[in-house]
Amino acid sequence: MGELILLRHGETAWSASGRHTGRTDVPLTAHGVASAAALAPALARRHIAAAFASPATRAARTAELAGLTGAKQDPDLWEWDYGGYEGMTSAQIQARRPGWSLWRDGVIPGASPHQGETVQAVGARADRVLARASASLADGDVALVAHGHVLRVLTARWLGLPAVDGRLFRLDTGTLSTLGAEHDEPVIVTWNVRPGG
């Protein structure tokens, strides 16, 4: 049985400044390109049976640089749709809504077509990704290249936790994490590992 390999895309200008980047297609910075390429040696040592990436350029480029050139686009791996909070930092949102938490309070509607989504909707997408990925785990590892919040929700769902428990897992850009099993129970094998770490 293989493991799920989670790659959070490399740094972008928005991720570096803490801006919520859901559906805005922001490219990787030079640092983001370098950290994505640095993931390739760790992946080269693994038997990858399948690879899937968010349609966002930052995720697709990370997959390519990490050596996953055949990664299939999976729209369910898009980042959380932040609606009216797209492009804002947590501090900016909290100035309007003191004490705001994405995980507890969610988002406000944004301009069409991105009206925002609930944590439960992100969890439903993560469940669909896990169902598709699980079909290939018998043949080896499955790599998923996506974004911080959706991968955190996916991890919670892998562990059998509610989607909102994704709040418990910090995930930095340009990192590799693995999910597997121990005694047939889902576990986190590695988390938030930087290249060479």
Structure tokens at 58: 């930052």
Task: Give me the domains of the chain, ranges plus CATH numbers.
Answer: 4-82+118-193 (3.40.50.1240)
9 is catalytic: yes
pLDDT in tens for each of the 197 residues of the chain? 899 999 999 999 999 999 999 999 999 999 999 999 999 999 999 999 999 999 999 999 999 999 999 999 999 999 999 999 999 999 999 999 999 999 999 999 998 788 999 999 999 999 999 999 999 999 999 999 999 999 999 999 999 999 999 999 999 999 999 999 999 999 999 999 998 76
Select which of 3, 79, 86, 117 is catalytic: 79
pTM, entire model: 0.97
79 is catalytic: yes
Select which of 3, 9, 20, 114 is catalytic: 9
pLDDT for residue 113: 80
| CB contact set of 80 (below 8 Å; sequence gap of 6+) | 22, 102, 107, 117, 119, 122, 147, 149, 150, 153
pLDDT for residue 196: 77
Do the Cβ atoms of 126 and 76 come closer than 8 Å? Answer: yes
